[in-house]
Structures are given as C-alpha cells and as structure tokens.
Amino acid sequence: MFEKSKKMNHLEFKNGDRMAAIGLGTWKSRPAEVENAVKTALENGYRHIDCARNYANEDSVGRAFSTVFSAGKIKREDVWVTSKLWNNSHKRDDVIPALKRTLKDLQLDALDLYLIHWPVAFKNEVETFPEDDSDYLSLAEVPLIETWEAMVEAKKLGLTRHVGVSNFSIKKLKALSKLTNDMPEMNQVEMHPFLPQNELIEYCSENGIHTTAYSPLGSGDRHHSMKKEDEPSLINHKTIVEIAQKHNCNPAQVLIKWAEQRGTAVIPKSTSEKHIIMNLESANVKLDDADLDAIQNIGTRYRYVDGEFFVTPGNPYSDIFDLKD
C-alpha cells in the first residue's frame, strides 16, 4: 500500500531534542505480547515508545529494549522513550525512587520524557486503583507542585531529559504555572476527532507545551468496565471510513494522520505486526482541506477515558476533577 515512511513529523524541544510524532503505545498490551510488539515496532522504523508504570508491562518492554539495543543495529540514543509516574508516588520522596524502578524495569539509564500520569494522588500502598475514599491523598496532603518539583529535580539529576504531565486540563496547567518557572514540556491527553481538545492544544502551544494524543483510535479494546453500553465507535464512523476509502488507506491511518498533521504526537497501541506497520505508514497519508473540514464537523463529541474509575463517593477529587472542562 505505502512505502515505509521517511518523512514523519517530529516535535522539537527547546534544547533541540526531537521526538518522532508517531509512537507505539503500550497501554493494554499484555506482558506476553508487548515484548515482541516493541521489537517489531523498532525493527520496522518506530523511534518512539510510550510506557507507564501502571501498564504493568515495563519489564517486558525492557527485555525488548535490551535485545534490540544489544544487537547494535538500533542505538538507544535513536529511540525516544516516555514513561509515567503512577498516582501512588506523588510525594516528594517517592518520585525519584519510582522513576529509578521504571528505569530498572526498562533496562535504561535515563528516560527521554517522564510524565505525571494523572493529577490525582493515592496512598503509596495503592498499586493500581482505589477501592474506597481512604486510598486517596488529597491535594492538601500532596499538592501538585510538590510532585512537580520532584519531577524537575529528576531532570536535573539526569534521570530523564524532559518532564511533563498527562491528563492535565487548562485549569490545572494554569494553576501549576503560578507556582513554578519550570513548565511541563508535554501534556499527554485523550485526543481524537470526537475529542479534538482544540482549546487545550491552543493553550499548550501558546505556552511552549507539546501535546501527545492517546486513545487516538477510540480505545475500543479497553476493559469492559471502562465502557458504556451506548458509546459511539470512532473507527467505524461514516466520515472516517469515507475518507479512508478516498485515500485507499484504512480508518486507523486516517485517525493517526489527523493527529500527526495537526502538530501533535500520537501513540496508537497494537501488538499485531500488521497493524504496527500500517500505523506507522500513516505518515504517508495526506489529508486535504476537505478531509479536515469533514472531520472538524463530524458532530459527535465523546470522551472514552473519562476518569470515572477514580471516583468513589467521597474522595477528595470528586468536586474538582475537571477533565471535562
């Protein structure tokens, strides 16, 4: 269908570092499958891998890195690796140990980018998700600035080249900006034609913050407990399908290209060799003005990852959880 992309966009950071716009996401990838997925991705041209402690597969990703980098054909410095701080390590003294644990699992000396995964804090013993209100730490107990200052310190120590956030609204970014001169370099959020995040992208751009789109295909493979019965299908939407037919590509490639073409990074997840390769080939699709207008006017608005899995009846975030603002 397409030749392997040689013209993918990159996001450039202030120090000159460049991150490939299309990366491989690893959320929801089973440990038994993700090792091969990462190797397949790197061997087929990917130079950006997105990870997180909470995905419970970083040790498998690390084995893939070790295998590929030790072979010598692909160098560590040629691959951008992102990971994320989980919610149970927001206290100042927990941030760097959490990062070092991730580095050990990934078998790396340093990350390229480390993100605060969510603006929500748990007690240290809560490894996954809260069961009741007592599992949380409030923003009074662990202010976001405390976590952020520890992230900046990790950068100064050389444990990561860049630091940023994930799932931060404009409101939270503005609040953080009043307390620090070291603004996040990245904000990773759910983003796709049903949730274009135009105002957030504009704010981030004006303030020197890059954006990365997660769940760019609608996250149809996430656990059933995170789904609603009547949620709309993004990848099967008539507008997306028609544009794919027009360009002789598939709907996933349209969605990935839409994200890349508007200047964001995008991290589609797959463990299928065929889909991994085809997702990267999205860089060779060219959406025209008519395509972009049709997507802009798609009509449907929907957030797939709405954060409701953090809501317990009286937790300290229930009244300020502002992902929908």
* Cα 302 from Cα 319, distance rounded (Å): 21
Catalytic residue (choose from 55, 136, 304, 317)? 55
Phi, psi of 32 (to 5 degrees): -70, -20
Contact 215, 190 (CB under 8 A): yes
Task: Say whether 304 is catalytic.
Answer: no
- Of the CA atoms within 13 Å of residue 20, those in its CB half-sphere come to 26
Q: In the block, which residue shows the tokens 């995905």? A: 55
Contact 62, 22 (CB under 8 A): no
Residue 19 CB coordination number (10 Å): 21
Q: Please count the residues of the chain.
A: 325
Contact 97, 89 (CB under 8 A): yes
* Cα 311 from Cα 131, distance rounded (Å): 10
* Cα 201 from Cα 254, distance rounded (Å): 20
Active site residues: 55
